[in-house]
Structures are given as structure tokens and as C-alpha cells.
């Protein structure tokens, strides 16, 4: 049936695979089989999955192959396997939220985003490991680049599975730094769209003003392809809005009309960046020359981390109250402390913290309007820390997540330990397509050396 089966199809990016599928050069069954083969080889070492049923994945693939042969391809993701973080409801697989308290939980409905994936023809490959209730306490996943290191969290399994070529695409979520951090640690592209673009209905709720959906893949084009299918209004998520679907992929693939200028924002927590991160950014910004200018945020920004903590912990306390009331002995000490701090937060302080978000955004808008196409800043304080007892710090993502800005991490650099070091670009809220275009431009600047 095709000429490409001699190659390992797990090497294909999503966009490449989509073309090969559309042109009949490969079948979804072959692609899924190649990914399953990667899982078979590497899963014991990586531990990215909490639920996978190879036969069921193949049967979905055969079904979409049949549809395609009948001229009924569903959408741009037709035949592409996608890994789903295990806090996102699936009607045909368990969703256990990374806690023994939810063992055996079987939702009766797909999350909105899972329905949208199916409507676009995607194969729901399985459920990827998350940390405990998508907070800090690690799951079993290891970093595929070096299994002695953390893959990051909380979308640990999604990042590791994409890095290990077990799937070309995966879905994560970010309340603080849970898409960008694991993507950076595992050396893949992680993209967290602007707040409110992707519905969170059917996704474990940590914090309504902070929770955001993100995607992972191995190229900018691939994250654009995936995210574009997920963006849309959902009356079940009150923070989504009716609006035209942005042409993420088309615009991402264009050249910027003028060479962009980037603002290098060290951020008020720059002292947390380790030596190899600082050195790498010094080198990178030197290389970019006049295309990048250091920009110091006003002093008020240093409180953002505290405001985020106030909001997040108060919301964890409310949303995880059933788990706390009925099974606090089965929660990690870290999460229990977060909840206990959160229970004490006063409504006035919570709401004052929330009120800061538009104020921070308006200061950042000023930066973007001034002359900068995007902010360039580390994705993490350094490469993935050694050991599996922590998922590393989300601090370099906190501010942007709090503000709901679109962010992408690119695996542009490497530490002396051989592990990837992510470069994060952050754009104005709602200008997602332009951010992806700038990301591809940046890749070209660095890779053309």
C-alpha cells in the first residue's frame, strides 16, 4: 500500500504524518503500530502512560482508515494518535487524576477537547501520567533523555511520550508551569495558548482563573496543527468566548513581514536561574544581536508570584475539599499543606490578588505595544533536575500563566549535562498565531548557524 513502511513512522512529525495519511502513503494503523512499538520498547524505562490498550488504539486507527478509504476523512487530525493527560475525561478510558483517591474513576462523557479531537479524526492513544491531582507530587514518569532526571510536571507523561516518539502529539494542562516546564525538560515544543481559548469542561478543576490547556509536539507547525482544532467557544466553560478560530498553522508557517524585536525579560526571579541557564541566555541573546533587547519589568511585578500562590492555594482548597475531607491521609504532605494554607485565605485577599491580573496585563501590553513582538525568557531555571522526588520549579512560567498570555517553549539549547534547556517566548494575549510565527522565525535564526 505504501512506500514509506520501511522507515520508522514514529519519526514522523504530526504534519508530515497527516500529509502521508492524506496522500495514502501510510495508514493510521501503520502509524499507530509504529508508536505502539516505541511504547513497547521504551515504556518500561520512561513510564509515560497510566492507561493504554494497544488493541483499542489499533481498532480506532482501522476505523478511521476505513472512513478515509470511503472518502469520509473527518478533519486535519484524521488518523493521528494523541496522548491525553490523565486529568482529562475520556468516556472510553479511566481518568484517575494521579491520586489513589480517584482509582477506577470512569467518566461517562468526554471532555469537550476530547470530543473535538475525535471530531477532527484523532486517535485517542491513551492516558498519560500526571502528578498528584496535577499538583507537585510526582508520578512514575522519567525523563526520556536521562531517566535519572525528572520529566517535570504536572503534564509529565505527555511531555515524555512526545519526546520518546510514543506519540507525535499530546495534551497537557497548565495552572502554573505544567505544560512549558515538562516540555522544556524533555526537549519538545510545548505551547500554552492564551487563557480562555480551549475549553476546560471535563478537565480536573484546580483554579478557574488559572487553569489552561496546552499542547505538546516536536515542532511549531505540529503544536499549531493540534491547538487549532481545540480552540473554540464552549458554553460549559464560562471563560471561553465566541470568536473566529485563529488560523494558527497558516500564520505560524509565514515569514514575519519585518524581523521581530524580542524583549529579553530576565524576570524578577532571575536569581533562581542556574549558571548554565544564565550562560546559555547570554550566548543566545548575544547571537541574536539587535533583534533582542533586555527589558526590566517594573518593580510591582515581583509580587506576582505571591498573588498566584494566594489564588491557586485558595482554589485548591475549595476544589479539592472532597479529597481533603474524605482522604487527607492519602494526599501528599505538600498538597495537604497547600490546601491548609488555602483554607485560611480571606476572600478580600483572594479578590485583591485576582484584581492584579488586569493591572499586570496592562503593563505588559505597554511593553508589547512599545516595540516588542514577544518576550524571550527561560522556560525553567535550568535543565531537568536529577532525581524523581520533585518535578522542578514552575517559577519561570508563573507570571505568564497568571496573566493568561500565550507561551511556547522551544528546545533550542542544551545544558552541559546533555539535557535540553527550553527557550520560552511569550506574546500578547490573543495574538497566538503571531507568537507561533515568531517562534518559527527564532528557530530559523538559531538553526541557520
- Positions touching a copy of itself (CB under 8 A) are 238, 241-243, 314-315, 317-318, 321, 342-352, 355, 358
The answer to whether the beta carbons of residues 215 and 195 sit under 8 Å apart is no
CB of 244 to a copy of itself, least distance (A): 11
Considering 10, 154, 158, 199, which one is annotated as catalytic? 154
CB of 328 to a copy of itself, least distance (A): 15
Considering 28, 137, 178, 207, which one is annotated as catalytic? 178
CB of 208 to a copy of itself, least distance (A): 8
Cα 62 to chain centroid, rounded: 28
Nearest to 216 by CA among 90, 128, 111: 128
Nearest to 60 by CA among 167, 176, 178: 167
Cis peptide before 228 (omega within 30 of 0): no
Collapsing DSSP states into helix, strand and coil, what is residue 421?
Answer: strand
- For residue 109, give the C-alpha cell: 462523557
- For residue 181, give the C-alpha cell: 516546564
Q: Which is nearer to a copy of itself, 291 or 343 (CB)?
A: 343
**Active site includes 431?**
no
Q: Which is nearer to a copy of itself, 59 or 236 (CB)?
A: 236
Considering 85, 127, 192, 318, which one is annotated as catalytic? 85
**Active site includes 85?**
yes
CB of 218 to a copy of itself, least distance (A): 36
Q: Which is nearer to a copy of itself, 292 or 339 (CB)?
A: 339
- For residue 368, give the C-alpha cell: 508589547
CB of 403 to a copy of itself, least distance (A): 14
Nearest to 374 by CA among 287, 295, 278, 281: 295
Q: Which is nearer to a copy of itself, 183 or 339 (CB)?
A: 339
What values do phi and psi take at 350, rounded to 5? -60, -50
Query: How far apart, in Å, are the Cα atoms of 205 and each of 239, 240, 333, 364?
Result: 13, 15, 20, 27
Q: Which is nearer to a copy of itself, 361 or 414 (CB)?
A: 361
Which residues are identified as catalytic? Answer: 85, 154, 178
Amino acid at each position: 500500500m505504501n512506500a514509506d513502511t520501511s522507515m520508522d513512522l514514529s519519526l514522523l512529525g504530526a504534519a508530515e504524518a497527516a500529509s502521508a495519511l492524506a496522500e495514502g502513503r501510510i495508514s493510521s494503523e501503520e502509524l499507530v503500530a509504529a508508536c505502539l512499538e516505541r511504547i513497547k520498547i521504551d515504556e518500561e524505562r520512561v513510564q509515560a502512560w497510566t492507561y493504554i490498550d494497544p488493541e483499542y488504539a489499533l481498532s480506532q486507527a482501522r476505523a478511521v482508515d476505513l472512513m478515509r478509504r470511503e472518502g469520509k476523512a473527518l478533519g486535519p487530525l484524521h488518523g493521528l494518535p494523541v496522548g491525553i493527560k490523565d486529568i482529562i475525561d475520556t468516556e472510553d478510558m479511566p481518568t484517575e487524576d494521579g491520586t489513589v483517591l480517584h482509582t477506577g474513576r470512569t467518566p461517562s462523557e468526554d471532555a469537550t477537547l476530547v470530543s473535538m479531537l475525535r471530531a477532527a479524526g484523532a486517535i485517542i492513544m491513551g492516558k498519560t501520567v500526571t502528578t498528584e491531582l496535577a499538583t507537585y507530587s510526582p508520578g512514575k514518569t522519567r525523563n526520556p533523555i536521562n531517566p535519572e532526571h525528572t520529566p517535570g510536571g504536572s503534564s509529565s507523561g505527555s511531555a515524555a511520550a512526545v519526546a520518546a516518539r510514543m506519540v507525535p502529539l499530546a495534551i497537557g494542562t497548565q495552572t502554573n508551569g505544567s505544560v512549558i516546564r515538562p516540555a522544556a525538560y524533555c526537549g519538545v515544543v510545548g505551547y500554552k495558548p492564551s487563557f480562555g481559548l480551549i475549553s476546560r469542561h471535563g478537565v480536573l478543576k484546580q483554579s478557574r482563573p488559572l487553569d489552561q490547556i496546552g499542547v505538546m509536539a516536536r515542532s511549531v507547525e505540529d503544536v499549531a496543527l493540534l491547538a487549532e482544532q481545540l480552540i473554540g467557544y464552549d458554553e460549559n466553560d464560562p471563560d471561553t468566548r465566541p470568536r473566529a478560530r485563529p488560523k494558527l498553522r497558516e500564520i505560524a508557517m509565514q515569514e514575519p513581514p519585518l524581523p521581530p524585536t524580542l524583549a529579553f525579560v530576565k524576570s524578577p526571579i532571575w536569581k533562581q536561574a542556574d549558571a548554565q541557564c544564565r550562560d546559555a541566555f547570554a550566548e543566545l541573546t548575544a547571537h541574536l544581536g539587535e533583534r533582542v533587547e533586555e527589558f526590566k519589568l517594573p518593580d510591582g511585578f515581583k509580587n506576582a508570584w505571591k498573588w498566584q500562590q494566594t489564588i491557586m492555594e485558595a482554589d485548591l482548597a475549595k476544589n479539592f475539599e472532597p479529597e481533603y475531607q474524605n482522604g487527607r491521609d492519602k494526599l501528599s504532605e505538600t498538597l495537604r499543606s497547600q490546601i491548609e494554607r488555602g483554607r485560611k485565605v480571606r476572600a478580600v485577599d483572594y479578590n485583591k490578588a485576582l484584581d492584579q491580573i488586569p493591572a499586570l496585563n496592562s503593563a505588559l501590553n505597554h511593553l508589547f505595544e512599545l516595540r516588542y513582538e514577544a518576550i524571550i525568557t527561560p522556560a525553567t531555571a535550568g535543565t531537568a533536575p536529577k532525581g524523581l522526588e520533585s518535578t522542578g520549579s514552575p517559577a519561570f512560567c508563573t507570571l505568564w500563566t497568571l496573566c493568561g498570555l500565550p507561551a511556547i517553549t522551544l528546545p533550542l539549547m542544551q545544558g552541559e549535562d546533555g539535557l535540553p534547556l527550553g527557550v520560552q517566548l511569550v506574546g500578547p494575549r490573543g495574538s497566538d498565531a503571531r507568537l507561533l510565527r515568531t517562534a518559527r522565525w527564532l528557530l530559523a535564526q538559531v538553526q541557520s548557524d
